[in-house]
């Protein structure tokens, strides 16, 4: 298994630490052992969606032996540890859900938005459209926020459902096209609703200089749907002419941790992050590079091509995992745009032949 928010399918491995766990430790300034609670919660979630998994952890909690069982699916409820957001757990479910025995219907509770992991809003607007390009689509394919919960208290609830697929189709995503519109959501809980409006105004102040078609929805949840901690944040998504989605997001500083955030600064910085993501370019944004590469690997025995921006350190480590467990090597072609094209920074064209993975639970009728 891969221990950084994703899974190495159908293998046995001994794992010592996750790259994302070390990222958490760096942010919090704590030694590695303090991050065990959310990792244990992640293992419990895997146990719920599989049948016959074998898990052994040594006495010091530094070595994990994991022998995967069959991906079962069905209705699952899980209370996620509030050290990490629901997005940390959802990343793994997005990669596993299409290969379940029965369609997955998962209800996850905890922190829906924090400054560390991908938020539910971003995964909904970028990861789901990406999976649809690989043929993972259907009436039951949905991700919605029932209750919103900010760090550190949490109290949010998310519902994720995904149909099963027998195979993944290869893709050719080589031309992202130009940006045609920008959408987003500004959310606020247990603070004044005016916070979301201030986020929208500051973000539009930056983005209106480049494109007129901008709509940012404000989402203010009250009462039982607002979680246990105050906070606010912004998620922005730029859509291209060819149906690619590039995203950026920022959340306010969790209550009691560090200096408080100003909505004007957060909105402006988030808009600048989106412009940086557009400059990086590619058909997949930096937060979903690993998901695209895994689906390319598991596709049919045909050539898949995806144009990416500069590879993130997380993606580079993920490529090493793919090489170790699937014996798949990607061909990387670095493309440098000429100065007159104005197409941003260097791009990387990723090419591979899929392993022809087939869902053993899905029989042809």
Q: Per residue in 256-303, pLDDT tens?
A: 888 888 999 999 999 999 999 999 989 999 999 999 999 999 999 999
CB neighbours of 267 closer than 8 A, spacing ≥ 6? 186, 198, 199, 200, 201, 202, 203, 234
**CA 47, 115, 247: angle at the middle one, nearest 5?**
90
pLDDT tens string 99-113: 999 999 999 999 999
Residue 5 has pLDDT above 80, yes or no: no
pLDDT digits (tens, 9 = 90+) for 111-162: 999 999 999 999 999 999 999 999 999 888 999 999 999 999 999 999 999 9
Among 22, 233, 241, smallest CA distance to 120 is for 233
Residue 32 pLDDT level (bands cut at 50, 70, 90): very low
Of 11-15, 75-79, 157-161, least confident by mean pLDDT is: 11-15
Q: How many other C-beta atoms can be found within 10 angstroms of the C-beta atom of residue 209?
A: 9
**So what's the pLDDT on residue 353?**
96
Tokens coding 181: 């519109």
SS (H, E, C) 90-108: HHHHHHHHHHCCEEEEEEE
- Both structure tokens of 85: 């957001």
Mean pLDDT of the chain: 88
pLDDT of residue 363: 53
- What average pLDDT score do residues 172-190 get? 95
Q: How far apart are CA 314 and CA 290, in angstroms?
A: 8
For residue 166, pLDDT over 70 is answered with yes
User: Which is it for strands 73-79 and 102-110: parallel, antiparallel or unpaired?
Assistant: parallel
User: How far, in Å, CA of 158 to CA of 145, rounded?
Assistant: 5
Determine the Cα–Cα distance for residues 253 and 255; give it in Å rounded to an integer.
6
For 254-279, b/e burial (b = at least 16 CB within 10 A) is: beeeeeebebeebbbbbbebbbebbe
The pLDDT value recorded for residue 340 is 60
Q: Quote the CA–CA distance of 103 and 48 in Å, as a whole number.
A: 14
Q: Which of 15-29, 166-180, 329-343 is predicted least confidently?
A: 15-29
Instruction: Give me the torsion for CA of 119, 278, 245, 240, rounded to 10°.
Output: 150
Rounded CA separation 88/189 (Å): 21
Look-up of token digits 């053993």: 360
Q: Which residues pair with 147 in a beta bridge?
A: 157
Mean pLDDT of 74-102: 95
Mean pLDDT for 343-362 is: 89
Give pLDDT tens digits for 193-223.
999 999 999 999 999 999 999 999 999 998 9
Q: Which of 192, 14, 164, 57 is nearest to 102 (CA)?
A: 164
pLDDT in the model for residue 218: 96
Q: Which residues, 6+ apart, have CB-to-CB distance to 222 below 8 Å?
A: none
Distance (Å) of CA 342 to CA 2, 284, 334, 350: 38, 18, 16, 21
Instruction: Walk across the sheet containing 179-189 and list its strands.
Output: 214-221, 179-189, 231-240, 245-251
**How high is the pLDDT of residue 345?**
85
Long-range contacts, 13-21 (Cβ 8 Å, 24+): 13/65, 13/66, 14/63, 14/64, 14/65, 15/63, 15/64, 15/66, 16/62, 16/63, 16/64, 17/62, 19/313, 19/314, 19/317, 20/88, 20/117, 20/314
């Amino acid at each position: 298994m891969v221990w950084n928010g994703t899974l190495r399918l159908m293998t046995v491995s001994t794992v010592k630490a996750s790259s994302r766990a070390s990222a958490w430790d760096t942010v919090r300034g704590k030694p590695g052992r303090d991050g065990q609670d959310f990792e244990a919660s992640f293992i419990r979630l895997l146990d719920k969606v599989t049948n016959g998994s074998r898990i052994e952890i040594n006495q010091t909690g530094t070595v994990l032996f994991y022998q995967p069982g069959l991906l079962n699916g069905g209705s699952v409820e899980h209370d996620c540890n509030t050290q990490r957001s629901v997005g940390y757990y959802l990343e793994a479910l997005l990669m596993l859900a299409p290969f379940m025995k029965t369609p997955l219907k998962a209800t996850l509770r905890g922190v829906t938005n924090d400054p560390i992991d991908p938020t539910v809003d971003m995964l909904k607007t970028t990861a789901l459209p990406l999976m649809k390009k690989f043929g993972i689509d259907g009436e039951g394919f949905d991700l919605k926020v029932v209750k919103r919960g900010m760090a550190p208290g949490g109290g949010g609830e998310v519902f994720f459902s995904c149909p099963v697929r027998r195979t993944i189709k290869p893709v050719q995503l080589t031309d992202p096209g130009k940006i045609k519109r920008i959408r987003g959501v500004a959310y606020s809980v247990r603070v004044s609703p005016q916070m979301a409006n201030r986020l929208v105004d500051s973000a539009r102040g930056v983005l209106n200089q480049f494109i007129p078609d901008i709509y940012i929805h404000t989402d203010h949840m009250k009462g039982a749907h607002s979680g246990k901690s105050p906070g606010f944040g912004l998620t922005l998504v730029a859509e291209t002419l060819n149906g690619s989605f590039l995203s950026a997001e920022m959340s306010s500083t969790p209550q009691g941790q560090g200096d408080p955030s100003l909505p004007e600064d957060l909105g402006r910085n988030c808009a600048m992050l989106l412009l940086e993501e557009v400059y990086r370019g590619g058909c997949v944004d930096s937060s979903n590079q690993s998901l695209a590469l895994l689906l390319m690997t598991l596709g049919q025995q045909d050539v898949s091509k995806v144009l990416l921006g500069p590879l993130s350190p997380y993606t580079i480590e993920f490529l090493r995992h793919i090489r170790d467990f699937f014996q798949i090597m990607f061909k990387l072609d670095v493309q440098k745009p000429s100065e007159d094209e104005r197409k941003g920074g260097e791009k990387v064209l990723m090419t591979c032949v899929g392993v022809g993975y087939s869902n053993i639970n899905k029989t042809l009728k």
